Amino acid sequence: MQFVSCNLQHLCRRAIRNLCEPNSVYKQIFRRFTVTVRLADFSKWGTTKKNRKLKIQITQDMADPKIEEILSPLRDGVKEQGDYVRKLKSNGAPELDIKVAVAELKHRKKLLEEKELSFSQTILFDRARMEDLLKRRFFFDQSFAIYGGISGQFDFGPMGCAFKTNLLNTWRSFFILEEQMLEVDCSILTPEPVLQASGHVERFADLMVKDVKTGECFRLDHLIKSHLKKVISDKKTNENVSRECEDIITKLDGMTKEKMAEVMSKFNIKSPITGNDLTEPMEFNLMFGTQIGPSGLVKGFLRPETAQGIFVNFKRLLSFNQDRLPFAAAQIGNAFRNEISPRSGLLRVREFTMAEIEYFYHPDERNHPKFDDIKDLSVLLYTDLNQMDGKGAEYMTLHQAVSHEIIKNETLAYFMGRIYLFLIKVGIDPKRLRFRQHMQNEMAHYACDCWDAECLTSYGWIECVGCADRSCYDLEQHARATGVKLVAERKLPVPATVEKLEIVPNKVIIGKTFKKHSKFVLETLENSGTSNVRAMESELNLHGQIEISLPDDSTVFITKDMIEIKRYKKTIHVEEVIPYVIEPSFGIGRIMYAIFEHNFKVREGDEKRTYFSLPPIVAPLKCSVLPLSGNNEFVPFVKQLSQNLTKVDVSHKVDDSSGSIGRRYARTDEIAIPFGITIDFDTLKVPHTATLRERDSMGQVRINLDEIPDIVRDLSNGKLTWSEVEEKYPKFEQQETTETK
């Protein structure tokens, strides 16, 4: 990596020879120590690392009859298994049977996807080289690196911080300002009852195992997958065992704790670090627990998502919006998940930034007033039906998707369109972007429908944005837990007479029958809605008893003598409704990583030069100011230009260091600066002009110095395009020399 003059060899020989003699250290030798250094050839950085040439396969149109002939039997196999899963669900089959069938469905889908990818366009991506550039220019790096670092935690450097800030500002402008949302900033520390009501305390967990001697923890599915891949890669492994391992890897997501334990036992899986035995699988809640206050009596958690802060403030937000639906609230902030085995850089971390929206609307009014603005947008949709039937993702307009009830909610479709436009605006490649619908078995506990905006990277398809229909789950849960009505009211145009059903419990009989559980039984009965009461009445008349679930998930039977159901009619002038919620949730770190990959470029004709082709609107700095040389006559022009750029809010960097102008261009390209202003000897002449260079095309134009700040500002904000600038101003032709000496 470095070239050292031959004088160094002679110097070292003299030093060693003299050091061998007693009391004869020649300090003067080291004062004359000189080294000639040549800059590294960065194209060879990381050549010994993995991930030098990763294949990224972009799915092509599979309409070719020859390709379809090969894929058809695999599609039929997936469809057959998908139909079988549907049949099991409709017949109310045991959950274990459904999980086994779903695992087999995933296995068949995997075989089909692998065959489809074999017909895809393949591009090679040098992830190691990109990571070298990110680290060298300190976009981000591991936190506490001088102490050895902590996995799953990262610090953003100057360029990474500026890029993230610009990305969030663009998000705020695109969503909060354009959609007139209500922004909040809620507490990170969350009391336990809030997350108990939301379901996170009970359900937010992964399976893990521990080293019995050291206590080292491993996420179980990752451990099994890693071990079986090593078994497959072992040349001594026979074909049947390899096939079995591949089958297990495919079905891992649907495996139960008991099944994973069997796999561990069968393949004798040990700790990958020490080789020690491992414990039985155990559930691990992913939330960071803490105590609030000095007594330690108030248990809390660092929030795993920002959404709950919005839900618990629903009444205040509704009041601020003059008690009208629909409205949207938004929040940007950090969330925390205690990942068992964080990996893949920014993709799986323990502390991350989220930008979330909660759009509250009347459940009977699912149309969105601005849907016509995006209805003709064509997006790549990978529906749950296509996944079940073995078909690939398909392009269609959002209007078609809503009309065919592929997306059943027009408001959900509207936000999917807005998410798509935002991601394209900030630098995601539209050819590597799709929306995948969650299958029923992977749906979050709070969602009734969910689509993920997924970006194709060297790690495969990764979820960057989730867009979920949460119905009224969260508001109902918090209302039940607190006794506070979280509803919206709407004045009816005409008063309505409605039938009300009310449960009158016999507290004496309930108390004697259920004793210490009677309080929970009474609360459950009191919180039953009209529709539930009507169903309970039918069940009682038919069978003489009903089964109800209590808050602790136990069940009890209620007989006719325990309750009386009263009916009465009531005239109402105001309708009370629990609003439904659409939630777009953005993982900012994941979006940043996908943008890095989609915009990492190698300069054509010069493989030593790499750069990030980030859109100007999110670029860390908007322009650089480069005096051609160290001539003192350039100083006042550089100073004045810098002041003028600052006045119009254009972030910039003055690079008056030594080196050729080509080398300085290369340095600014590496940190994604889209425009470069060069002060040269023609600038000294009247009228004063300078050259403006565009990073991606390397094209240059000559512009009056006074005009440049406004032009760069408009280019950075997207109000002006580079082609428009080239049409208006004369081109400046000069060959860039980038050789490093």
pLDDT tens, residue by residue, 501-543 = 788 888 888 888 888 888 888 888 877 766 677 778 888 888 8
Confidence category of residue 202, pLDDT binned at 50, 70, 90: confident
String of DSSP letters for 29-67: HHHT---------GGGTTTTSS-SSEEEEE------HHH
pLDDT at 18: 47
- The pTM (predicted TM-score) of the whole model is 0.77
267, with CB counted inside 10 A (0-12, 13-18, 19+), is: middle
Query: For residue 637, is it within any domain?
Result: yes
pLDDT at 47: 45
Same domain, 557 and 630: no
Top-ranked range on mean pLDDT: pick from 173-187, 476-490, 550-564: 173-187
Compare 245 and 532 and report the one with higher pLDDT: 245
Same domain, 561 and 634: no
Q: Domain residues for 567? A: 492-575
Query: For residue 167, is it within any domain?
Result: no
Query: For residue 8, is it within any domain?
Result: no
Extract the tokens encoding 722. Answer: 């580079």
pLDDT at 428: 97
Query: For residue 542, is it within any domain?
Result: yes
Extract the tokens encoding 740. Answer: 């490093």
Query: For residue 337, is it within any domain?
Result: no
CA nearest neighbour of 618 among 356, 427, 361: 427
Instruction: Look at the chain and report how many structural domains it folds into.
Output: 4
Q: Hey, what amino acid is at 415?
A: F
Kindly report the CATH number assigned to the domain that includes residue 544.
Answer: 3.30.720.200
Please check the confidence at residue 26 and state whether its pLDDT lies above 50.
no
Please check the confidence at residue 43 and state whether its pLDDT lies above 60.
no
Confidence category of residue 42, pLDDT binned at 50, 70, 90: very low
CA nearest neighbour of 76 among 68, 88, 64, 87: 68
pLDDT at 136: 94
Kindly compute the dihedral angle of the four CA atoms of residues 626, 632, 634, 639, in this order, to the nearest 10 degrees: 80
Q: Span 222-229, mean pLDDT?
A: 88
Kindly report the CATH number assigned to the domain that includes residue 720.
Answer: 3.40.50.800
Domain end position, chosen among 285, 313, 341:
285
**28-42, 458-472, 678-692, range with the lowest pLDDT:** 28-42
pLDDT at 36: 33
CA angle, residues 579, 400, 372, in degrees to nearest 5: 60
Same domain, 701 and 646: yes
Query: For residue 504, is it within any domain?
Result: yes
pLDDT at 735: 52
pLDDT at 205: 76
pLDDT at 445: 64
**For residue 488, what are the CA distances in angstroms to 244, 323, 499?**
55, 7, 20
Confidence category of residue 6, pLDDT binned at 50, 70, 90: very low
What are 121-156's pLDDT values in tens digits? Answer: 667 888 999 999 999 999 999 999 899 888 889 999
Q: How far apart (Å, rounded) are the C-alpha atoms in residues 330 and 586? A: 11
Same domain, 545 and 637: no
pLDDT at 531: 62
pLDDT at 612: 96
Extract the tokens encoding 417. Answer: 């369109």
Please check the confidence at residue 344 and state whether its pLDDT lies above 90.
no
Confidence category of residue 53, pLDDT binned at 50, 70, 90: low
Mean pLDDT rounded to a whole number for the chain = 85
- Residue 551 backbone class (left: φ over 0; alpha: ψ -120 to 50; beta: rest): alpha
Q: Is 571 helix (H, G, I), strand (E, B) or coil?
A: strand
Query: For residue 616, is it within any domain?
Result: no
553, with CB counted inside 10 A (0-12, 13-18, 19+), is: exposed
Domain end position, chosen among 575, 606, 639:
575
pLDDT at 710: 96
Please check the confidence at residue 10 and state whether its pLDDT lies above 60.
no
Q: How far apart (Å, rounded) are the C-alpha atoms in residues 239 and 330? A: 53
Top-ranked range on mean pLDDT: pick from 105-119, 247-261, 485-499, 520-534: 485-499
Q: Span 456-473, mean pLDDT?
A: 92
Domain end position, chosen among 285, 303, 338:
285
pLDDT at 60: 53
CA nearest neighbour of 558 among 549, 569, 546, 575: 546
Q: What percent of the chain has pLDDT over 90?
A: 46
Compare 445 and 321 and report the one with higher pLDDT: 321
Hey, which residues does 119 pair with through a beta bridge? none
Same domain, 646 and 723: yes
Confidence category of residue 72, pLDDT binned at 50, 70, 90: confident
Rg of the chain taking only CA atoms, in angstroms: 32
Compare 225 and 67 and report the one with higher pLDDT: 225
Residue burial 626-650, b: 16+ Cβ < 10 Å; e: rest: bbbeeeeebeebbeebbebbeeeeb
- Indicate the pairing of strand 652-654 with strand 623-627: parallel
What are 612-647's pLDDT values in tens digits? Answer: 999 999 999 999 999 999 899 999 999 999 999 999
Query: For residue 466, is it within any domain?
Result: no
